[in-house]
């Protein structure tokens, strides 16, 4: 039956038809140019996560920094993550996902290039803050966009494939560092400035459509229909056969004009608390590795060159973790996939805690990286699934962005633990904190695998915003 409601009620009802048409697609509906745009954004967003830790020793030598001064670029960068994720998440809910991503790309380009021309610790810290705003925004927005434009049977896998390219960026940082850092005076500038070339991908932005789910909720039904029709044509070209008729769809939930306030009400406040506990704990452990892996390895008695080499070898686990997660994320509940990769991370930490043999260190570093690559990507997928379109970008940005409070306090926790208990105690502590993140997702995680986005993100059955309709 076709719903003919007018006004807000009609928009909500028609969102069910748009959602049902997306959910029946047999393939991820992106043309090559749009995929290039997404892949490059993932690559450079993740590249910039760890570039400063590789550049920092050279920066300290050039500017003659104290320990407190050396922490300033990383601290402001993480504060930028929090600010950027929330601000751009709100922009995305008001003005659209596409505009927000293009704006964040512009900041990433400008901030990255400026880092290469920093004249001192003050300017470098300011530029890293700008980069942090862009990275925090992109990490939250990319998974939001992918979740809204892919069908249930491919949502997790496609997110993980994109995360694979992001983790290529993460894994490549030590190797790019090895190539650049040796250049006198300019090596670290090239390493940080390299992130600025992300702006070249802007030429592909014209092929990236706005999220049709967002369009229909904002009264732009004709545009949403055009976007989904193009997706359908692409899917039929890829498969060589007509699509089946759309099934019954569940209408989107309207949550009010200010997304953040909606997240303070049931059922979303409980979901928000779970993902915040998860991301804060998980980011403490993540940034202990991303920011201090060379320091932790050096404390085991390794030379600076060996430390960088071991980090580079171990970092291969980042993209391999994403590929492994892509193989299982549509077969099992998300929370078990996430927990499994967090378990891999814990195993790697414990191996380094109990044995300092070079082979064990390499294996442990690899497992830690694999756990981050698979666990973070799976958690990005999950976080973007459990909130409705009207607040999805804001919720994702609060979970992932404010979760970076964990990253902000990771230096204090890591260095304090290293001073008090040594490397083995620090590795053990991070394993324990990761167990807290795993417990949060096991206890509070919802089933999302293979379920239509409007269904898994909706309010409890019986609330008036939820309707089941069938479009012609």
Beta strands (DSSP E) in 150-284 are: 249-250
How far is the CA of 9 from the CAs of 2, 186, 260, in angstroms? 13, 59, 22
Output DSSP code: residue 330.
Answer: T
Q: Nearest 5°: phi and psi at 208?
A: -95, 110
Residue 238: Cβ within 10 Å count: 14
How far is the CA of 126 from the CAs of 72, 113, 119, 210, in angstroms? 9, 13, 11, 32
Q: What span, in angstroms and rounded, lies between the C-alpha atoms of 181 and 171?
A: 16
pLDDT at residue 54 in the model: 82
Closest CA relative to residue 12, chosen from 460, 462, 458: 458
Closest CA relative to residue 334, chosen from 283, 396, 377, 285: 377
- Contacts of 317 by beta carbon, 8 Å cutoff, 6+ apart: 171, 365, 366, 367, 368, 369, 370, 371, 372, 373
Do the beta carbons of residue 452 and residue 247 sit within 8 Å? no
Chosen CATH of 7-469 out of 2.60.40.10, 3.90.550.10, 3.10.20.440, 1.20.1250.20: 1.20.1250.20
In tens digits, the chain (472 residues) has pLDDT values of: 233 334 444 555 566 788 889 998 987 788 888 999 999 999 999 998 888 878 888 898 889 988 778 888 988 998 999 999 999 999 999 999 999 999 999 999 999 999 999 999 999 999 999 999 999 999 999 999 999 999 988 899 999 999 999 999 988 887 888 788 777 778 899 999 999 999 999 999 989 999 999 999 888 999 999 999 999 999 999 888 999 888 777 777 666 667 788 888 888 899 999 999 999 999 999 988 887 777 788 777 777 778 778 878 888 999 999 999 999 999 999 999 999 999 999 999 999 888 888 899 999 999 999 999 999 999 999 999 999 988 999 999 999 988 989 988 888 898 889 889 988 899 999 999 999 999 999 999 999 999 988 888 764 433 333 332 222 2
pTM strictly above 0.75: yes
């Amino acid at each position: 039956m076709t719903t003919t409601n007018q006004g807000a009620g009609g928009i909500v009802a028609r969102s069910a038809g748009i959602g049902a048409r997306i959910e029946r697609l047999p393939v991820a509906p992106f043309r090559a140019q749009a995929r290039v745009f997404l892949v490059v954004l993932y690559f450079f967003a993740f590249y910039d996560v760890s570039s400063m830790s590789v550049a920092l020793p050279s920066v300290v030598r050039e500017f003659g920094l104290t320990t407190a001064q050396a922490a300033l670029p990383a601290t402001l960068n993480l504060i930028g993550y929090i600010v950027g994720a929330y601000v751009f998440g709100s922009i995305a809910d008001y003005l659209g996902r596409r505009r927000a991503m293009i704006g964040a790309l512009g900041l990433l380009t400008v901030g990255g290039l400026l880092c290469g021309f920093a004249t001192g610790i003050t300017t470098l810290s300011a530029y890293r803050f700008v980069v942090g705003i862009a990275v925090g925004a992109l990490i939250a927005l990319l998974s939001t966009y992918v979740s809204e434009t892919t069908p249930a049977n491919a949502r997790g896998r496609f997110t993980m494939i994109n995360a694979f390219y992001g983790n290529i960026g993460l894994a490549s940082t030590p190797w790019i560092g090895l190539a650049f850092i040796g250049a006198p005076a300019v090596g670290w500038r090239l390493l940080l400035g390299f992130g600025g070339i992300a702006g070249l991908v802007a030429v592909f932005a014209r092929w990236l459509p706005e999220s049709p789910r967002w369009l229909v909720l904002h009264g732009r039904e004709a545009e949403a229909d055009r976007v989904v029709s193009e997706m359908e044509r692409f899917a039929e070209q890829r498969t060589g056969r007509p699509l089946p008729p759309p099934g019954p769809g569940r209408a989107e939930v309207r949550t009010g004009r200010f997304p953040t306030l909606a997240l303070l009400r049931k059922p979303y406040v409980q979901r928000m608390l779970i993902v915040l506990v998860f991301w804060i704990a998980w980011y403490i452990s993540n940034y202990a590795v991303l920011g201090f892996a060379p320091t932790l390895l050096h404390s085991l008695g390794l030379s600076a060159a060996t430390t960088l080499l071991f980090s580079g070898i171990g970092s291969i686990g980042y993209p391999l973790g994403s590929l492994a997660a892509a193989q299982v994320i549509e077969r099992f509940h998300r929370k078990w996939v996430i927990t499994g990769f967090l378990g891999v991370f814990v195993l790697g930490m414990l191996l380094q805690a109990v044995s300092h043999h070079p082979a064990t260190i390499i294996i442990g570093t690899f497992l830690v990286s694999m756990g981050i690559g698979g666990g973070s990507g799976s958690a990005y997928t999950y976080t973007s699934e459990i909130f409705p379109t009207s607040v999805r970008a804001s919720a994702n940005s609060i979970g992932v962005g404010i979760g970076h409070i964990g990253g902000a306090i990771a230096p204090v926790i890591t260095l304090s633990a290293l001073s008090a208990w040594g490397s083995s105690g620090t590795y053990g502590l991070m394993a324990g904190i990761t167990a807290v993140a795993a417990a949060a997702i096991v206890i509070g995680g919802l089933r999302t695998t293979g379920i239509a986005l409007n269904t898994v993100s909706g309010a409890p059955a019986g609330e008036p915003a939820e309707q089941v309709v069938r479009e012609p």
